[in-house]
Amino acid sequence: MKNKLIMVAAFMMLAASTGAAQTLWLDRPLTTNWNSTNGVVPQPPKVAPGSAPETPACRETVRTPVSLGERALTRVGWFLFGPSLNYGSISIVTAMASVDGMCRPNQYNGFVFINNRYAGMLAPTHSTARSDGSMGKINLYTPKDLNVEFLRYGPDDALCCPSQTSLVSYEFTTGATAVVRAADVSTAATCRDQVETQDNVISGTVTYRPRMALPSSATLVVRLVDVSRQDVSAPVIAEQRIETGGAQIPFSFDLTYDRSRIQERNRYAIRAEILDGGRLLYTTDVVRPVLTQGNPRVVDLELVRVGTGTGTGPGIPSGRVIRGTVTYLQRIALGPNSQISVRLVDSANPQGDAIAEETIIVTNRQVPISFELNYNPRDIDRQRNYELWAEIRTDGQLRFQSEQGQAVNLRGAAAPSNVELRVAPASDEPEAITGQTLSLSKFGTGSLRIGDRGNELIVRGNVVVRADGSAEVTVN
Q: How far apart (Å, rounded) are the C-alpha atoms in residues 249 and 104?
A: 11
| Alpha-carbon gap, residue 419 to 415, rounded angstroms | 10
Q: Do residues 21 and 15 touch, judged by C-beta distance below 8 A? A: no
What pLDDT is stored for residue 345 in this prediction? 92
Higher pLDDT, 179 or 29: 179
pLDDT mean over 401-410: 93
Q: What was the pLDDT predicted at 231?
A: 54
Q: Which amino acid is at 372?
A: E
Tell me the pairing of strands 134-142 and 145-152.
antiparallel
Over the chain, what is the mean pLDDT? 80
What percent of the chain has pLDDT above 70?
80
What digits encode the pLDDT tens for the residues 145-176?
A: 899 999 998 877 777 778 889 999 999 888 87
What span, in angstroms and rounded, lies between the C-alpha atoms of 475 and 436? 12
- Is it the case that residue 2 has pLDDT exceeding 70? no
- Eight-class DSSP state of 63: B
> Is the pLDDT confidence value at 60 over 60?
yes
pLDDT at 365: 81
| Beta partners for residue 425, in sequence order | 400
Show the 3-state SS of 33-56.
CCCCCCCCCCCCCCCCCCCCCCCC
pLDDT score at 118: 95
pLDDT score at 167 = 93
The 8-class DSSP code of residue 433 comes to -
Q: Which of 119, 63, 123 is nearest to 90 (CA)?
A: 119
Residue 411's pLDDT band, with cuts at 50, 70 and 90, is: confident
Q: Between 232 and 471, where is the model more confident?
A: 471
pLDDT attached to residue 198:
53
The pLDDT value recorded for residue 232 is: 57
pLDDT at 233: 65
pLDDT classification of 219: cutoffs 50, 70, 90: very high
Q: How confident is the model at residue 90 (pLDDT cuts 50, 70, 90)?
A: very high
Q: According to the model, what pLDDT value does residue 197 have?
A: 40
* Helix (H/G/I), strand (E/B), else coil: 273: strand
The pLDDT score that the predictor gives to residue 308 is: 44
Q: What angle do CA 313, 79, 248 make, to 5 degrees?
A: 40
CB atoms within 10 A of CB 308: 23
* Mean pLDDT lowest among 85-94, 302-311, 397-406: 302-311
Mean pLDDT value of segment 420-442: 70
Residues linked to residue 80 through DSSP beta bridges, in sequence order: 63, 95
Q: What is the mean pLDDT of residues 366-379?
A: 85
Residue 413 CA: distances (Å) to CA of 376, 387, 410: 13, 17, 8
Lowest pLDDT segment from 91-100, 224-233, 413-422? 224-233
- In the predicted structure, residue 329 carries a pLDDT above the cut 90: yes
Q: Does the pLDDT value for residue 363 go beyond 80?
A: no
67 pLDDT higher than 70: yes
The DSSP secondary-structure symbol of 153 reads: -
Q: What does the alpha-carbon distance between residue 391 and residue 367 come to, in Å, rounded to a whole number?
A: 13
CA 283-208-398 angle, 5° bins:
40
* CA-closest candidate to residue 275, choices 244, 302, 240, 247: 244
* Domains recognised in the chain with CATH numbers: 25-190 (no CATH), 200-301 (2.60.40), 321-425 (2.60.40.2990), 438-475 (no CATH)
CA-CA distances (angstroms) from residue 273 to 47, 89, 228, 255, 303?
32, 49, 21, 14, 7
The answer to whether 97 and 79 have CB atoms below 8 angstroms apart is yes
Q: Is residue 309 a contact partner of residue 377, using CB atoms and an 8 Å limit?
A: no
Residues 6 or more apart whose Cβ sits within 8 Å of residue 329: 422
Q: Is the pLDDT of residue 18 over 50?
A: no
The pLDDT score that the predictor gives to residue 414 is 81
> Does residue 382 surpass a pLDDT of 60?
yes
- Look at 229 and 99; give whichever has higher pLDDT: 99
Q: Which of 37-51, 93-107, 273-287, 404-418 has the lowest mean pLDDT?
A: 273-287
Collapse the DSSP code of 277 into the 3-class scheme (helix H, G, I; strand E, B; otherwise coil) and give the result. coil
Q: CA-to-CA distance for 160 and 129, rounded, in angstroms?
A: 12
Position 230 scores a pLDDT of 61
Q: Provide, rounded to the nearest whole percent, the portion of the chain with pLDDT above 90.
A: 32
Q: Which residues make beta-bridge pairs with 226?
A: 268
